[in-house]
Amino acid sequence: VSTIGKRIDDLDFLDDPKKNSIKIEIDATYLPNNYKKVEISSLVDLINFLDLDLKNTAVMTDALDTAKLLRFNDSPATEFNYSGTYLSYFYLHEIAGLILTKGVEDAIEVPDDAYEVGKLFITENEAKYIISALDTLSLDLNSFSFDPSSLTISDLKNAIFDGDGNTLSKILLTKAGKELMNSVTSLIIIESDYEALYGRITGKALYDFFNAVELMGVVNLDDDPDIANFNLNQTDDVLHTISISSIIRSTLIQYVNIEANGTHVDPLMYNNTSFVITANDKDNTNRSQLTQSETYNLMRSINYLSGGTGKVSDISLDIATIKALGDDERDIVLSTEILKYQVSKILLDLPLVGYKDFYTDDIALVEIIDITTLVTTPNTELLTKAQINKYIEDHA
């Protein structure tokens, strides 16, 4: 026991805090070579499992070879009369976890919430999924290269999340999110999508973003989805999935350009909180974000208002265009609040528009509203969908 303890003491691979965590403490002192017997026994099993020679102090570099590490996730661990995986067996004690953790720490940033509470090693699940990722992402702890230009969105999504979007590895979540923010600087990350404590995108925000950009044809992590020029002439199912992504919604609104009767207008003048969210981004800059349903309706509307380009920067609104739409198409456009507002404004600015033009049997007469009122009183109503349709029917 003393000889093996001396070998552990000689290992440069583990720092003193990690070594001390498995030593016997006597009067607040950690004596040389004085390791807990269960940890010595676990180390002996680890040496046999990985075919190591502890006399070689560089041995742990060889132990962290991907081919050897993948064996940890095999089960059952029959050679130790254990029904679970080899990793679960070695995690019954701490030394294997400390050794694995040191290798991971040398390769990649480890956020605090990836460690076992009160311990110096990562959780068993983190170890399990990091080891699996070495294979699926073609990584190696000893020569770690997390290259966003060669890591596909599909592979990363499968390595970081389960099929329901639950985060499997906080280590990979942190790394992938930071690489994404560094590589694709056009993305707007609002504070609710950002965990400032760990400097990373939240799991839900990253998962929804991955789902969206896969459908937008993005392949690798550092590929810019180019939201400004993406053709939104897509199926409703595709647009719905894209609209779920909070990152896409925050970014897309920056590129929306509406020409109303040939004049550029502010798409967010009508800043109604029922469909526009105002929040700071991760850098504390104030941003606007459309709700999921508003974004979905806006993207569907672009199919009819962009002259075939499908771009958010090519929205053109005028009464002739709205009149020419079919009933279902017009319903989609007028279900988009920021577009309905602009159509309403166009109608109210027409000469000789009076109450009778917007009268319906079930809707009260609309007042002629000064548009500047909307800036100071954002929730002021303009024309309803029914009132707009009434005008179009009467003036067809």
Q: Give per-residue pLDDT as tens, 306-340.
A: 888 999 989 999 888 999 999 999 999 999 988 98
Q: Which pTM does this prediction carry? A: 0.87
| pLDDT score recorded for residue 166 | 97
pLDDT above 90: residue 4: no
- The overall average pLDDT reported for the chain is 85
CB atoms within 10 A of CB 394: 11
Give percent of the chain above pLDDT 70: 88
pLDDT above 70: residue 355: no
Condensed to tens digits (0 to 9), the pLDDT of residues 203-262 reads: 999 999 999 999 999 999 999 999 999 999 999 999 999 999 999 999 998 898 888 888
Condensed to tens digits (0 to 9), the pLDDT of residues 74-121 reads: 988 888 999 999 999 999 999 999 999 999 999 999 999 999 999 999
pLDDT above 90: residue 157: yes
Give percent of the chain above pLDDT 90: 54
**Which range scores top for mean pLDDT: 17-26, 76-85, 87-96, 381-390?**
87-96
pLDDT above 80: residue 287: yes
Contact indicator for 249, 241 with CB cutoff of 8 Å: no
Q: Mean per-residue pLDDT for 283-299?
A: 89
| pLDDT score recorded for residue 129 | 96
CB atoms within 10 A of CB 269: 15
CB atoms within 10 A of CB 114: 23
pLDDT above 70: residue 41: yes
Beta strands in the chain (DSSP E): 23-26, 29-35, 194-195, 200-201, 258-260, 263-265, 276-280, 286-290, 315-317
Condensed to tens digits (0 to 9), the pLDDT of residues 59-87 reads: 667 778 888 899 999 988 888 999 999 99
pLDDT above 60: residue 359: no
Contact indicator for 59, 52 with CB cutoff of 8 Å: yes
CA-CA-CA-CA torsion for 130, 135, 138, 142, nearest 10 degrees?
Answer: 60
Identify the burial level of 235 via C-beta atoms within 10 angstroms of its C-beta, where 0-12 means exposed, 13-18 middle and 19 or more buried.
exposed
The pLDDT-based confidence of 152 (bands split at 50, 70, 90) is: very high
Contact indicator for 181, 187 with CB cutoff of 8 Å: yes
pLDDT above 90: residue 178: yes
Identify the CA nearest to 298 among candidates 251, 334, 246: 334
pLDDT above 80: residue 396: no
